[in-house]
A and B are shown apart, each in its own frame.
Chain A
Amino acid sequence: MLQGWIIVLVSLAYLCFLFAIASYGDRRADQGRSLIANPYIYALSIAVYCTSWTFYGSVGRAASSGVGFLPIYLGPTLMFICGWFVLRKIIRISKVNKITSIADFIASRYGKSPLLGGLVAVIAVIGIMPYISLQLKAISTSFSVLVQYPEIVMPQDLGSAPLLQDTALYAALIMAAFSVLFGTRHIDASEHHEGMVAAIAFESVVKLLAFLAVGVFVTFLVYDGFGDVFSQAAAVPALTRLFSIEAAGGYGSWISLMILAMAAIICLPRQFQVAVVENVDERHLRKAVWLFPLYLFLINIFVLPIAFGGLLLFPDGGVDADTFVLTLPMAERQEGLALFVFIGGLSAATGMIIVATIAISTMVSNDLVMPVLLRVGRLHLSEREDLTGLLLAIRRGTILIVLLLGYLYARLIGESYALVTIGLVSFAAAAQFCPAIIGGIFWKGASRAGAAAGMSAGFLVWAYTLLLPSFARSGWLPAAFLEEGPFGIDLLKPYELFGLTGLDPISHALFWSMFANIGLLVGVSLLTRQSLVERAQAVLFVDVFRRTEDQARIWRATASVRDLQGLLARFVGQQRASSAFSRYARRHGQKLDVQAPADTALVRFTERQLAGAIGAASARIMVASVVKEELLDIDQVMAILDEASQVIEYSRRLEEKSAQLEATSRELRAANERLKDLDRMKDDFVSTVSHELRTPLTSIRSFSEILFDNPDLDADQKKEFLKIVISESERLTRLINDVLDMAKMEADQLDWYMAETDARAVIDQALAATHSLLQRDRPIALETDLPTRLPSVHADADRLTQVIVNLLSNAVKFCDPERGRIGITAGLRDGLLQVEVWDNGPGVPEADQERIFEKFQQAGHILTDKPQGTGLGLPICRQIIKHFGGTIWVESVPGRGARFSFTVPLAEAGEAAVSASAE
């Protein structure tokens, strides 16, 4: 005899045991010795896919449609085989980006869009709520069936229980309590619930064993093996119908169910939670790829025998096929087995409820409530000290609300539906995430606008074609809504939208919602432009195996380390935050100075940690609020690059300039030196010239005074004195002329009349000019050795004459006073005209041979020897010859005369003449 209190007690004991497992798992996780870090636990936890819908509903569906239940398990099998490509990628992406839920995943993929995250959360809540209500309904139904033991009475025959005696309500409340205990004990930055996973895995074992037990019992104890069940069924014509695919609704339903299940195994929030978020090691997937399908295979082996066994045993249809799993052992008076089956069903239901509510609460708090609260400036939430409490409260509240909504749905609507149909409605809702996810991880072009448009449209179509009809069926909406379409518009009939007929409601809804979803995702993505963040995230997701580092973003941050740590502490608690930061410091081998501005890596680290607690979109808002960061777009980056390259360019130019300046200043210094030299020379020159001028002037003045003071001087003496005055005046004139010439030459202001000049004529002219000198006081012998013809030279004739006259007059001045002899020769030497003027005077000492060509320098001692010339003759000669391009020099042996020579370049015609005569 199974009393109600016994069932309740056993159930509560079972749940307590589950909780013990969970808290043991959590403790082990805290110790760092994870209980769940092996592929078997991982595969078992994924088996949360098999809910009470599988446990009870599969048999129910098999009883009405034969193999029609199978696509729900074949789809995931295929998906897991190709899960190595799809699921592994999703897992990797989620690990790298610290994804906490499917809403987070989609929001993160499409540019961390809070809008998309919220949309996913809303769809998940509305879509999954019927599924949760289905579990509650399964618990209450199985309880009310079992409690009638040994009678087999269907719940609908008992009439609706009053609210306070409704098992489903208590089940909902107990489940809420458990979910809160399992899933929201604390806020974990990694969002791992190891204890929960351990409990789920255990539940998977329990439900599998329970189902296998009842399967073996029915197949081998009630009947005599598979062959017996099927051969007995084959004898019943009504049952042989189930052997065909037709019973399953044909290939249309078959294929659409398979597609639905393939999508669901990834997109159902609870599947995403266990397979992706709770995954502790990517390598576990390797075993799960075949272990999970194997689990599905095992739990389905006995579905058909149980279904046929039930149909054969209760041929009148008085027993709901959904309860066969429970009623068959009851009919055979196996109360222990029946209780075990009930516990198995409870496992299946609670597992689903716990994971689904935790997943949904994470989603709702991270992607729906927090972003909204954070944006409402009035609440000043982003300035609150500690937000962990708020976060937990939101999650706990969400769990309670979702479960109560599920209960409400079950109480108001559930009765009109078989288990499987409700489950499929939820599957179809979850499938709306699939295009955004699959598109998002394989197609970089999928844009936020496309995903938002596709998902909303798909969701609306789903609601119109599946959710509203379920309301209509339960009487919430007039039945005419189903039969005639809204307002009698035939084309809008929810089960035959736009006149599409021939499909069952699920396939129909799947077709239209996917048509809208995929169509808009692709179409809008192709027609809109992605923002930069979207683009960056798309690349991160699609190329996750190529680049696991988050390098796409550049932060220009202005926050201190303390700010960031404070921010993290507000969401995960002070202790966890500081331990996270010290871990970071340890790993990067740097000491974190709390005052120092945080570098980019630390900001990103904080954002990722926060993302673990409150989701990527909220984390971004929070970090941005603290960091006052600018997420640089490419234009800004380009501007920065421009700036940098300009600076480089400037500095390069500056360097050039400074080098130039240095060179210039060096030149200036040199010029200055030269100027100073010149200045000094000028001073010397002026003083020398003054001195030179004073000598003749003094002499002129003295003799003039003598003449003035002594008018009675005799005539001879007067004449001599006057002669001196005249000669000194001449000397003075000459001196002044020379000085002027010299000055002009040095200033390069002299006018030169360079032309082809006949050298012979010039020499003759010079000789004529000096002729008088030879005769003046004493006879001086002149020897000329000149060829009759000399080549013409390129020179200024007057200046050349001046040079020769100068040299000749020097020779006259310095030749032997007694038997003076001078001479001049000219001739070609080395292609130049060379003219020599010699005398037989005292000669020039070796030391003076160069000096005499300098200004005011004369051979002999200045003080003792009376100056014989202006001292400017030779410098002027040198200047002139230099200008012509020749050289002038002196050769002399002291006491044996001197020989002055100079060369002048030939004119071109002269050169030609020379080369002609040489031939």
Chain B
Amino acid sequence: MTRPGLMNERLMALFLLGLLLFGPPLMGAFDRPAIALGIPVLYLYLFLAWLCLIVFSALAIEGGAQTPSGAEPEDLDRAFEDEG
């Protein structure tokens, strides 16, 4: 990762993607009484979409972790400093 803000943008994109995946028009496409791989399509779709979302957000956030945005740990220290 190069850009510190990139992780934020990716997470925001994933969030919006999640809203899309788990919302009416797209879900409707899978809302039929068919079975794929032995599993009802709607179930399969929802769980796969869910898993993808989790995997991608893990990639987005852990990928970003290698170069954490520079100011962050310092900010944190400052925030803790005032504590008792």
Whether B57 pairs with A293 at a CB distance below 8 angstroms is yes
- Is A282 engaged at the interface, CB distance under 8 Å to the other chain? yes
Q: 1/0 per position for A229-249, CB-CB distance to B under 8 A? A: 011001000001001111000
Chain B proximity of A91: nearest CB distance (Å) = 10
Chain B proximity of A515: nearest CB distance (Å) = 21
Chain B proximity of A157: nearest CB distance (Å) = 32
Q: How far is the CA of A827 from the CA of B81 in the complex (A)?
A: 98
Q: 1/0 per position for B43-80, CB-CB distance to A under 8 A? A: 10011001101110110011001000000010110111
Chain A proximity of B21: nearest CB distance (Å) = 9
Chain A proximity of B29: nearest CB distance (Å) = 11
- Is A739 engaged at the interface, CB distance under 8 Å to the other chain? no
Q: How far is the CA of A258 from the CA of B15 in the complex (A)?
A: 13
Q: Which of B19, B38, B47, B65 contacts A286 (CB 8 A)?
A: B65
Contacts of A498 in B (CB 8 A): none
Given A84-B11, A84-B61, A85-B12; A227-B38 close (CB under 8 Å): yes
- Is A95 engaged at the interface, CB distance under 8 Å to the other chain? yes
Residue of A nearest to B13 (CB): A81
- Is A417 engaged at the interface, CB distance under 8 Å to the other chain? no
Whether A294 pairs with B84 at a CB distance below 8 angstroms is no
- Is A752 engaged at the interface, CB distance under 8 Å to the other chain? no
Contacts of A549 in B (CB 8 A): 78, 82
Q: How far is the CA of A98 from the CA of B79 in the complex (A)?
A: 11
Contacts of B76 in A (CB 8 A): 281-283
Contacts of B61 in A (CB 8 A): 84, 286-287, 289-290
Residue of A nearest to B58 (CB): A290
Residues of chain B from 1 to 58 with CB closer than 8 A to chain A in the complex: 7-8, 11-12, 14-15, 18-19, 22-24, 27-28, 31-33, 35, 37-43, 46-47, 50-51, 53-55, 57-58
Contacts of B18 in A (CB 8 A): 74, 77-78, 81
Residue of B nearest to A79 (CB): B15
Q: How far is the CA of A609 from the CA of B41 in the complex (A)?
A: 55
Whether A78 pairs with B19 at a CB distance below 8 angstroms is yes
Q: How far is the CA of A711 from the CA of B33 in the complex (A)?
A: 175
Size category of the binding interface on chain B: 35 or more
Chain B proximity of A398: nearest CB distance (Å) = 25
Q: How far is the CA of A283 from the CA of B68 in the complex (A)?
A: 10
- Is A337 engaged at the interface, CB distance under 8 Å to the other chain? no
Residues of chain A from 231 to 279 with CB closer than 8 A to chain B in the complex: 231, 234, 240, 243-246, 251, 254-255, 258
Q: How far is the CA of A228 from the CA of B55 in the complex (A)?
A: 27
Q: Which of B31, B38, B73 contacts A230 (CB 8 A)?
A: B38
Most buried by A among B23, B38, B54, B55: B54
Residues of chain A from 548 to 590 with CB closer than 8 A to chain B in the complex: 548-550, 580, 583-584, 587
Q: How far is the CA of A240 from the CA of B34 in the complex (A)?
A: 10
Q: Which of B46, B47, B50, B82 contacts A608 (CB 8 A)?
A: B82
Q: Which of A70, A240, A286 contacts B46 (CB 8 A)?
A: A70
Whether A294 pairs with B23 at a CB distance below 8 angstroms is no
Q: 1/0 per position for A537-556, CB-CB distance to B under 8 A? A: 00000000100111000000
Chain B proximity of A639: nearest CB distance (Å) = 29
Contacts of B27 in A (CB 8 A): 245, 251, 254
Whether A245 pairs with B54 at a CB distance below 8 angstroms is no
Q: How far is the CA of A71 from the CA of B18 in the complex (A)?
A: 12
Q: How far is the CA of A190 from the CA of B84 in the complex (A)?
A: 8
Given A74-B22, A243-B43; A81-B82 close (CB under 8 Å): no
- Is A440 engaged at the interface, CB distance under 8 Å to the other chain? no
Q: Which of A92, A243, A282 contacts B40 (CB 8 A)?
A: A243
Q: How far is the CA of A609 from the CA of B84 in the complex (A)?
A: 7
Q: Which of A85, A228, A587 contacts B8 (CB 8 A)?
A: A85
- Is A594 engaged at the interface, CB distance under 8 Å to the other chain? no
Contacts of B33 in A (CB 8 A): 234, 240, 243-244
Given A67-B46, A243-B33, A548-B79; A81-B57 close (CB under 8 Å): yes
Whether A231 pairs with B15 at a CB distance below 8 angstroms is no
Q: Which of B32, B42, B51, B53 contacts A81 (CB 8 A)?
A: B53
Whether B83 pairs with A293 at a CB distance below 8 angstroms is no
Whether A548 pairs with B78 at a CB distance below 8 angstroms is yes
Whether B46 pairs with A96 at a CB distance below 8 angstroms is no
Whether A550 pairs with B12 at a CB distance below 8 angstroms is no
Contacts of B51 in A (CB 8 A): 297
Contacts of B19 in A (CB 8 A): 78
Residue of A nearest to B23 (CB): A255
- Is A225 engaged at the interface, CB distance under 8 Å to the other chain? yes
Given A82-B12, A190-B84, A608-B84; A297-B50 close (CB under 8 Å): yes
Residues of chain A from 609 to 659 with CB closer than 8 A to chain B in the complex: 609, 612
Whether B84 pairs with A82 at a CB distance below 8 angstroms is no
Most buried by B among A78, A81, A230, A549: A81
Whether A244 pairs with B12 at a CB distance below 8 angstroms is no
Chain A proximity of B42: nearest CB distance (Å) = 6
- Is A325 engaged at the interface, CB distance under 8 Å to the other chain? no
Residue of B nearest to A583 (CB): B84
- Is A189 engaged at the interface, CB distance under 8 Å to the other chain? yes
Chain B proximity of A599: nearest CB distance (Å) = 15
Contacts of A85 in B (CB 8 A): 8, 11-12
Q: How far is the CA of A448 from the CA of B19 in the complex (A)?
A: 31
16 CB contacts below 8 A, A to B, read A77-B53, A78-B18, A82-B11, A95-B80, A96-B79, A230-B43, A234-B33, A245-B27, A251-B27, A258-B22, A283-B76, A286-B65, A294-B58, A548-B79, A587-B81, A605-B84
Known: A227-B39, A230-B38. 15 other contacts (CB 8 A): A74-B50, A77-B50, A78-B19, A82-B15, A84-B61, A96-B82, A227-B38, A228-B38, A243-B33, A251-B24, A281-B76, A282-B79, A293-B50, A297-B51, A608-B84
User: 5 closest A-B pairs (Cβ-Cβ)?
Assistant: A227-B38, A290-B58, A243-B40, A82-B15, A78-B18
